[in-house]
């Protein structure tokens, strides 16, 4: 008589009745009850995974998309190991909402402001960019009417963003900068264990040619700059002050605006650097009969967070403004561009006076061409390059890279190319066919 092999199978499948929801639950424990799979009368026969995470006091729940018990057990074991791996790597099990992730990221960037790595204005810009991001993905940054979690966003979630922002009338250079901020958020979430994706993909946005064309449009012509300097003299004249019944403080403010224009174009400093410049960082002197200025740009006021000492034209403008300022105060720690109360001049004041000067200079298309105070930096750099200033020296003065300077600003005009073509070749005669 042959020996019969017997195998004892323990079926730990249980049927329970949920009193609260009035449905029958079929459960099957895995890993000694540390997780389970279950079916309900409303699940259509499909198995679901459930595991309690004590650290976060929540259940991990997931549909296993199968009605077969053995397959469900194998999938559930994979889910269990995935959860344990995330816990081991100190990653969150539950994906945060996009709103929560943005709040955490902005708190992180506030530390960059505290250590002078970015300015408060830059943080404000980042916040605005991330409001756009939330609007794009369908989450409302002002309220929690719709919940969108990081786990809902796949690697190609930004593929439609360019078209989305073009419908808002945004330029590609702006869109590209916004996308860079979004991926900075994504990287932060990945490094904090909040997200499995290190970066979001999106189609390449080529803006180099467009940027150059826009820069040319956003730069004053020689004739326009002459008209501006003439308009500034009129804007600060005693005749106009009397006609408009300006008091001493109004007259002084106009002088500050006038010198902001002149010093910006001569020093080629950024608007933020100029606005935070103090008199103890300015020294004027004479060289070859011309007044120059030695300016120290402090790291904490620079966009690139690097200090630099520059020697530039326009020393006479600093001299004249300092003489005018002494009527109100005389302290080296005061801002070069300030109000009559010795306070840093506000952006509102700067940008209120700008259109008044444009009107006097008869530059009617300044809005369409995006002419701003920053255009004075563009103008100054362009004129220095046309004066054959060494690009390497100029890049150090401007606080920008040589590559950026030459690619963005240096474009040979027809006269320059003709001159190059006429240069004689010192060597064998080559017949031009």
From the centroid of its chain, how far is CA 284?
35
Whether 92 has a pLDDT exceeding 90, the answer reads no
Whether 290 has a pLDDT exceeding 90, the answer reads yes
Whether 432 has a pLDDT exceeding 60, the answer reads no
Whether 19 has a pLDDT exceeding 60, the answer reads no
CA angle 415, 420, 426 (to 5 degrees): 155
In 189-330, which ranges are E strands?
282-287, 290-297, 308-313
Averaged pLDDT, 139-151: 68
Neighbouring C-beta atoms of residue 175, cutoff 10 Å: 21
Q: pLDDT per residue over 352-365, tens digit each?
A: 999 999 999 999 99
pLDDT at 337: 94
Query: Is the pTM here over 0.85, yes or no?
Result: no
Report in angstroms the alpha-carbon separations of 110 from 27, 107, 118, 192, 354.
48, 5, 9, 16, 31
Provide the pLDDT confidence category of residue 14 given band limits of 50, 70 and 90.
low
214-418 topology per CATH: hpI Integrase; Chain A (1.10.443)
Provide the pLDDT confidence category of residue 89 given band limits of 50, 70 and 90.
low
Averaged pLDDT, 49-63: 79
Averaged pLDDT, 183-188: 93
Which of the two residues, 151 and 245, has the higher pLDDT score? 245
The β-bridge relationship of strands 308-313 and 282-287 is unpaired
């Amino acid at each position: 008589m042959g020996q019969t092999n017997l195998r004892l199978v323990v079926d730990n499948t249980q049927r329970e009745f949920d009193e609260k929801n009035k449905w029958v639950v079929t459960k099957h424990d895995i890993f000694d009850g540390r997780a389970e799979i279950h079916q309900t009368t409303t699940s259509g026969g499909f198995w679901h995974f459930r595991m309690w995470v004590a650290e976060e006091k929540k259940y991990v729940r997931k549909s296993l998309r199968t009605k077969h018990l053995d397959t469900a057990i194998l999938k559930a074991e994979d889910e269990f190991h995935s959860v344990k791996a995330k816990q081991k790597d100190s990653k969150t099990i539950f994906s945060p909402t996009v709103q929560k992730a943005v709040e955490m990221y902005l708190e992180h960037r506030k530390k960059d402001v505290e250590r002078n790595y970015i300015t408060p204005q830059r943080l404000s810009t980042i916040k605005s960019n991330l409001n756009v991001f939330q609007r794009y993905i369908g989450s409302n940054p002002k309220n929690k009417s719709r919940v969108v979690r990081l786990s809902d966003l796949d690697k190609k979630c930004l593929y439609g963003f360019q078209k989305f922002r073009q419908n808002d009338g945004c330029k590609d250079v702006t869109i590209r900068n916004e996308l860079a901020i979004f991926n900075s958020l994504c990287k932060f979430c990945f490094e904090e264990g909040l997200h499995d994706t290190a970066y979001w993909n999106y189609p390449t946005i080529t803006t180099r040619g467009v940027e150059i064309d826009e820069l040319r449009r956003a730069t004053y012509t020689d004739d326009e700059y002459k008209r501006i300097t003439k308009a500034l003299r009129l804007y600060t004249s005693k005749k106009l002050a009397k006609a408009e019944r300006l008091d001493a403080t109004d007259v002084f403010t106009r002088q500050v605006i006038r010198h902001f224009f002149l010093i910006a174009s001569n020093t080629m400093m950024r608007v933020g650097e100029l606005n935070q410049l103090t008199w103890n960082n300015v020294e004027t002197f004479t060289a070859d009969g011309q007044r120059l200025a030695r300016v120290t740009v402090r790291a904490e006021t620079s966009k690139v967070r690097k200090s630099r000492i520059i020697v530039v034209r326009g020393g006479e403008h600093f001299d004249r403004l300092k003489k005018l300022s002494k009527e109100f105060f005389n302290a080296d720690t005061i801002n070069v561009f300030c109000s009559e109360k010795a306070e840093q001049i506000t952006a509102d004041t700067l940008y209120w006076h700008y259109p008044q000067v444009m009107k006097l200079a008869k530059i009617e298309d300044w809005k369409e061409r995006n002419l701003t105070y920053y255009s004075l930096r563009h103008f100054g750099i362009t004129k220095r390059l046309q004066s054959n200033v060494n690009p390497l020296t100029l890049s150090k003065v401007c606080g920008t890279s040589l590559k950026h300077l030459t690619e963005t600003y240096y474009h040979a005009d027809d006269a320059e190319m003709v001159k190059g073509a006429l240069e004689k070749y010192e060597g064998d005669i080559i017949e031009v066919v």
